[in-house]
Amino acid sequence: MIVIKTKEEIEKMREAGRLTAEVLQAVTEVIKPGITTADVDAFCEDYIVNTLKAIPGSKGQYGYPFTVNTSLNYVVCHGMPSPKQTLKKGDIVNVDVTVIKDGFYGDSSKMFGIGTIAPFAERLIRITQECLYRAIRIIKPGITLGDIGFTIQNHAEKNNYSVVREYCGHGIGKKMHEDPQVLHYGKPGAGVKLQEGMTFTIEPMINLGKKEVKLLADGWTVITKDRTLSAQWEHTVLVTQTGVEVLTLRKDEALF
């Protein structure tokens, strides 16, 4: 069942989203060659708990032991932080963070290039972000989830990239995962129609090579089967009366 949020619930989601964006803004100063993904995780946990006075939303969710996902290079999603995983010049990494405040969730992720990265990696990151932004810009009551999926798929494939099928965006609110599922591929006009008060994430995972993925033995880490690079960006959005509000928008972004 899709939960339509009340005005009071939307205010709480705005705050959770704002704090989530703050974490990604703060960790930007930390991410550089030589630090480990475990360092990134520790920084984010400390910032959420001690600076924001909030709760890390991912830690303990479904048994996940960390505050963030750190998905490096050919890791598609759910990469697990490790003290043995050091960020090196040329790497790309996605940091995915979830914050709980007053019982409501915010969820967002951002790509980082470590030092100078290859032009093909930079392009993948840029096109993936464009996929997200193009999908967000069409949101308003009456469009469908299929319209969102088609917008993402069309832009990715037009640029010779592939869209991961197995993982998707999701409704969000008092729970991290609510209905509906938000696929990143689809047909125009298909699926659920958007209504004012719906809140959900859009988080396209776009691969440089083929779309097939593989789940590693740790039960969390998902990689590209052909070991080519993958990129992802994520925002939590609210459907408004006339369009969309990005609840996790960062200060470094200009969407409209």
Count of structural domains, the chain: 1
Question: Residues 46-60: what's their mean pLDDT?
Answer: 98
* 253 assigned to some structural domain: no
Model pLDDT for residues 124-157, shown as the tens digit of each residue = 999 999 999 999 999 999 999 999 999 999 999 9
pLDDT digits (tens, 9 = 90+) for 81-123: 999 999 999 999 999 999 999 999 999 999 999 999 999 999 9
Whether pLDDT at 181 is above 80: yes
Structural domain containing residue 130: 7-246
Q: Is residue 199 part of a domain?
A: yes
What pTM does this model have?
A: 0.97
Whether the per-residue pLDDT at 208 is higher than 90: the answer is yes
Q: Which two tokens stand for residue 90?
A: 């040329």
* pLDDT band, very low/low/confident/very high, at 180 (cuts 50, 70, 90): very high
Within 10 Å of residue 45's Cβ, how many Cβ atoms? 19
The answer to whether residue 29 sits within a structural domain is: yes
- Output the pLDDT for position 98: 98
Asked if residue 143 is part of any domain, the answer here is: yes
Residue 2 maps to a domain = no
Report d(CA 200, CA 169) in Å as an integer.
7
Does 256 have pLDDT greater than 90?
no
Query: Is 176 a domain residue?
Result: yes
Share of the chain above pLDDT 90, in %: 98
Does residue 215 fall inside a structural domain? yes
pLDDT band (50, 70, 90) for residue 26: very high
Give yes or no for residue 69 having a pLDDT over 90: yes
Domain CATH code at residue 201: 3.90.230.10
Q: Please check whether residue 89 lies inside any domain of the structure.
A: yes
pLDDT at residue 254 in the model: 82
Q: Looking at residue 255, what is its pLDDT?
A: 76
Give the pLDDT confidence score for residue 37 in this predicted structure.
98
At residue 29, does pLDDT exceed 90? yes
